Amino acid sequence: MKTWLRIFFVGGVISFRALFSWIRPSIYIPTMLLGPTTQVLFFAYLGRTAHLKSDSWFVVGNAVQSASVAALFGMGFAIDGERWTQTLSAVLATPANRAALFLGRALPVLVNAAVTAATGFLGGALLLGFRMPWSQVPALALVLLLASFACTGLGMLTGAVGLRMRDVPIIANLTMAVLLIFCGVNIPLDKLPGWMHRTADWLPMTHSIAAARRIAEGASLRSVSSELLRELALGLTYLLVGFGLMRFFEQEGRRLGTLDRA
Amino acid sequence: MTRGARVFWTGFVLHFKNLSASPFMMVTAAIWPLVYATLAFLMFRATHQAPSLLYAALGAAVMGIWSTTATSAGGAIQQQRWLGILELLVGTPARLILVLAPITVAIAGIGVYSIATTLLWGRLLFGVPIHVLHPFLFAVAIPAAVLSIGMLGLVLASSFVLYRSASNLSQALEYPIWLITGMLIPLSLLPGWVHPLAWALAPTWGMRAVRRAAIGGDVGVPLLVCAALTVAYTVLAFLLLHHFERLARDRATLALT
Amino acid sequence: MAVIEAIELRRTYRTTTGVIRRKPLEVEAVRGISFAVEQGELFGLLGPNGAGKTTTIKMLITLLLPTSGEARVLGHNVVDDAREVRQRIGYVFGGDRGLYERLSAYDNLRYFAELYGVSGKAQRARIDEVLELVGLKGRESERVEGYSRGMRQRLHIARGILHDPEVVFLDEPTIGVDPVGARELRTLIANLIATGKTVLLTTHYMFEADALCDRIAVIAKGTIVGEGTPTQLKANVAGGRVTEIEVFGVDDAAVGRLRGIDGVTAVTVEDRDQKQLLIVQTTSERELTAPLLSELDGVEVGRVASREPTLEDAYVALVTAE
């Protein structure tokens, strides 16, 4: 959902604050809740147009994708937004543990991402008649959490890059575009050119989406365990690399004085 | 040119220039349509029953026009307020609609960049033939689509400036309008009750005019409807803005401070 | 006939207060203001922040409807004949905003020239003329984002006079501009009068008002508390004198005792690093230095000086008077 990013820009700092202290329902509901549902609908109908896959296939793919994007952008906001309000250097000046600082910031983002995905499923259920066994819901929830975690990891990485470059939103936009095209959200992986298929293997979301689709069809957690482990490993890797970069850029930033925007 | 037309044209050129200098606008206009075009190309190419890739390229291109409009036009008046310019604009003797319409039309106009980039992208990466059946009609259809979509943007902007709590809906309108106006999904696939709604929306007819000019079919009717909708939106925006100006002078809401 | 006429102008804002339970709240920003500005005059509206200066200007330039009362600019009613008024006036406010940053100064001006109906042929010549006037000739093709505060302000003025308005409203035009830039702006404003325009200026820089204005109205809490030429206003300060006393660590009680002295009309305290400056206005020609100093017994006193009242003294006396 690039719209979240746009709110940041178009609405400026005011909207950003409202978005991130998501207390204001007037912003939260349309962007976070209507967004996933309309996206699910759009791609399901696009799938019908192309005669490609069932509605359910698109519901699962897009709902999981909306979670990961919420995570990706949430992390970017959490880091870049601080620089906007020029408090980043104040926070960094505190002796707080860096890991706790940034991971603490990641937690609400993660929860938000899972809620976003849930609304995508709900929208699919209400408007497209998406059904799955109730008994599979806990397993699906776990997959969603994992997908959000993996993307939060990637968000940490893009956020870190954002600490350095001045265009977090543009980087986040590009990342999101890549994920949307590569990860089998709307295009079956086997229909992608070989190099894209191979790249997808190393991106977060690809494996969660595949696992979520099978779980929605009734498969057990055990049967998708290899996909889940792979996702977990990817998420951890991105998170660690992101965190490492963050520390590195923080040092650099102090040296070069680029932490604050103004 | 009459005074009104000159005010409109000067404003359009100026705001188009201003928006073109905004990296964010350009990313929205240039990159996102490419993403959707790519998605559509890959999806359509995966089966044999899908519409042609040129159909997809044109759809993604016009989606770009709606994208910039949905994301930026809805807040266009607010934006001028934040810049501290709204007061100055209202304070000129020019009619408010002639001052504000060029802004939203220019925002839609930025979407024209997306037509160029998508067609080029499709040609270079996916070998989509750029074959336009009626170049002249195509050249007429694009400004007609931009104008009508831009005026729809003005209707949004003027209603959102009146009902501020609704203004966040603007961005959320992106997918729904793409969905129901036949950009990539034929209207015939959608439930019947959606059709009248689609017919009242300029993007439906703008899309139809652009696509038929390129691929074939009657262009006259969609162009006429586009023109009629432009007039209807203009009247609606005029009334809304008239109300807004009166209200703003009464409640002191023109300035931010 | 007066060029600007305000008759019993009043403006109330309705807002809400309270976080949980919203209560409607009425704020009277302007409570019955009347004044008239004559052709070719430079009229100043002075007053503290929130006194109602900007609200008054906004009513006069048609951007705000008065709650009651009437105003006319060049004989046109500001409520009903808004377009006629807008065509004939220029409006300039101070500060950074109000320009298209990513566009050149020339484009900004061209746009507003069009909005004000400066016809195509005359446009270029007129833009050149105003650029020359405000001293931005040669810089007009640069983007505004690179402009200094002073340059932006001059561009604002250029924009305000593009259509050669008969009346120009300047709302705190020198705010935030460095001293040199502000001085240039004042010269520019004086030049506007020289070309026959009528100017209404708001400011809270006293020396600025003193140097520029033919006549001044002082607004406090939404009403006019004093009006006249700078000389008249100064004379109003009880025809008296001002004593400045430098002290180190004076308390409120001592200031209160000074106010109690017969013949003292106002006492203000200005903080200057470790010391304070007491500005004491007195009514009479009588020398009050001795009684003043005796009330300050126990306070360390520095320099003591007596001088003629300035416009600032007159202003302070007016806005602090209850």
What ipTM score was computed for the predicted complex, to two decimals?
0.89
Residue B256 lies in a domain: no
Q: Distances from the Cα of C92 to the Cαs of B81, C79, C165, in angstroms? A: 16, 20, 12
Do C131 and C176 fall into the same domain?
yes
Q: Which chain B residues are Cβ-neighbours of C153 within 8 angstroms? A: none
Do C156 and C296 fall into the same domain?
no
C18 in reach of chain B (CB within 8 A): no
Tokens of B202: 């300029």
State the CB neighbour count (10 A cutoff) for residue C192. 21
Closest chain A residue to the Cα of B40, Cα to Cα = A46
Q: Tell me the mean pLDDT in the region B143-155.
A: 94
Q: Distances from the Cα of B188 to the Cαs of A48, A49, A55, B185, B193, in angstroms? A: 11, 10, 17, 8, 11
Q: Which one of B19, B42, B170 makes the best mutation probe of the A interface by having the most chain A beta carbons within 10 Å?
A: B42
A80 vs C209, higher pLDDT = C209
C76 in reach of chain B (CB within 8 A): no
Residue B219 lies in a domain: yes
Closest chain B residue to the Cα of C92, Cα to Cα = B88
Tokens 């390229």, located at residue: B57
Sheet order of strands, C198-203 included: C89-93, C167-171, C198-203, C42-46, C215-220, C223-228
- CB contact under 8 Å between B43 and A187, yes or no, is yes
Q: At C282, which CATH number? A: 3.30.70.260
Nearest by Cα to B19 from B111, B146, B145: B111
- Residues in a beta bridge with B199: none
Indicate if the pLDDT at residue A5 is higher than 50: no
Contact B184, A46 (CB under 8 A): yes
Q: What is the pLDDT of residue B140?
A: 94
Q: How far is A227 from chain B (nearest CA, A)?
A: 24
Contact B31, B63 (CB under 8 A): no
Q: Tell me the mean pLDDT in the region B76-104.
A: 89
Q: What is the Cα–Cα distance from B101 to B112, expressed in whole angstroms?
A: 17
Q: What's the number of domains chain B is made of?
A: 1
Q: What is the pLDDT of residue A102?
A: 58
Q: Tell me the mean pLDDT in the region C93-98.
A: 84
Distance of alpha carbon B211 from the chain centroid: 16
Q: Which one of C13, C65, C89, C115 makes the best mutation probe of the B interface by having the most chain B beta carbons within 10 Å?
A: C115
Chain B / chain C CB contacts < 8 angstroms: 80
Indicate if the pLDDT at residue B217 is higher than 60: yes
Q: State the SS3 of chain C.
A: CCCEEEEEEEEEEEEEECCCCCEEEEEEEEEEEEEEECCCCEEEEECCCCCCHHHHHHHHCCCCCCCEEEEEECCEECCCCHHHHHHHEEEEECCCCCCCCCCEHHHHHHHHHHHCCCCHHHHHHHHHHHHHHHCCCCCCCCEHHHCCHHHHHHHHHHHHHCCCCCEEEEECCCCCCCHHHHHHHHHHHHHHHHCCCEEEEEECCHHHHHHHCCEEEEEECCEEEEEECHHHHHHHCCCCEEEEEEEECCCHHHHHHHHHCCCEEEEEEEEECCEEEEEEEECCCCCCHHHHHHHCCCCEEEEEEEECCCHHHHHHHHHHCC
C64 in reach of chain B (CB within 8 A): yes
Q: Tell me the mean pLDDT in the region C72-81.
A: 92
Chain A contacts to B (CB-CB under 8 A): 2-3, 6-7, 9-12, 15, 26-27, 30-31, 34-35, 38-39, 41-42, 45-52, 167, 169-170, 173-174, 177, 180-181, 186-188, 191-192
- Residues in a beta bridge with C71: C6
Q: What is the Cα–Cα distance from B62 to B212, expressed in whole angstroms?
A: 13
B227 vs A24, higher pLDDT = B227
Q: Which chain B residues are Cβ-neighbours of C26 within 8 angstroms? A: none
Q: At C139, which CATH number? A: 3.40.50.300
What's the half-sphere exposure (Cβ side, CA atoms, 13 Å) at C165? 32
Sheet order of strands, C275-282 included: C264-272, C275-282, C241-248, C300-307
Binned at pLDDT 50, 70 and 90, residue A12 comes out as very low
Do C92 and C212 fall into the same domain?
yes
DSSP A159-196: HHHHHHSS-HHHHHHHHHHHHHHHSSSSS-GGGS-HHH
Closest chain C residue to the Cα of B253, Cα to Cα = C64
- Could you say which of C228, C243, C277 is where a domain stops? C228
Structural domain of residue B201, as residue ranges?
3-251
Indicate if the pLDDT at residue B256 is higher than 70: no
Q: A touches which chains (3+ CB pairs under 8 A)?
A: B
Do C182 and C115 fall into the same domain?
yes
Q: Tell me the mean pLDDT in the region C8-37.
A: 80
Tokens 């050129």, located at residue: B13
Q: Distances from the Cα of A242 to the Cαs of A79, C6, C149, C243, in angstroms? A: 12, 64, 41, 67
Do C254 and C153 fall into the same domain?
no
Nearest by Cα to C205 from C180, C171, C172, C235: C172
Q: Tell me the mean pLDDT in the region C115-122.
A: 86
Q: To 10 degrees, what angle do helices A225-256 and A137-164 make? A: 20
- Residues in a beta bridge with C220: C223
C34 vs C280, higher pLDDT = C34
Do C240 and C200 fall into the same domain?
no
Q: Tell me the mean pLDDT in the region C126-140.
A: 90
| Identity at A227, one-letter amino acid code | E
Residue B257 lies in a domain: no
Q: Tell me the mean pLDDT in the region B172-176.
A: 84
- CB contact under 8 Å between C13 and B11, yes or no, is no
Q: What is the Cα–Cα distance from C250 to A12, expressed in whole angstroms?
A: 47
The closest CB to that of C98, out of B3, B88, B251, belongs to B88
Q: Which chain C residues are Cβ-neighbours of B14 within 8 angstroms? A: 100, 103, 107, 110-111
Q: What's the number of domains chain C is made of?
A: 2
Q: What is the Cα–Cα distance from A169 to A85, expressed in whole angstroms?
A: 16
Do C211 and C245 fall into the same domain?
no
Contact C232, C214 (CB under 8 A): no
Do C26 and C163 fall into the same domain?
yes
C58 in reach of chain B (CB within 8 A): yes
Residue B114 lies in a domain: yes
Q: Tell me the mean pLDDT in the region A168-191.
A: 84
The closest CB to that of C107, out of B17, B92, B251, belongs to B17
C74 in reach of chain B (CB within 8 A): no
- Could you say which of C194, C213, C228 is where a domain stops? C228
Q: Which chain A residues are Cβ-neighbours of B40 within 8 angstroms? A: 46
The closest CB to that of B43, out of A41, A170, A186, belongs to A186
Residue B62 lies in a domain: yes
Structural domain of residue C253, as residue ranges?
235-320
Indicate if the pLDDT at residue A89 is higher than 60: no
- Could you say which of C199, C228, C257 is where a domain stops? C228
Do C123 and C266 fall into the same domain?
no
Chain A / chain B CB contacts < 8 angstroms: 106
A79 vs C77, higher pLDDT = C77
- CB contact under 8 Å between B93 and C97, yes or no, is no
Q: Distances from the Cα of C81 to the Cαs of A220, C88, C166, in angstroms? A: 76, 11, 16
- Residues in a beta bridge with C301: C247
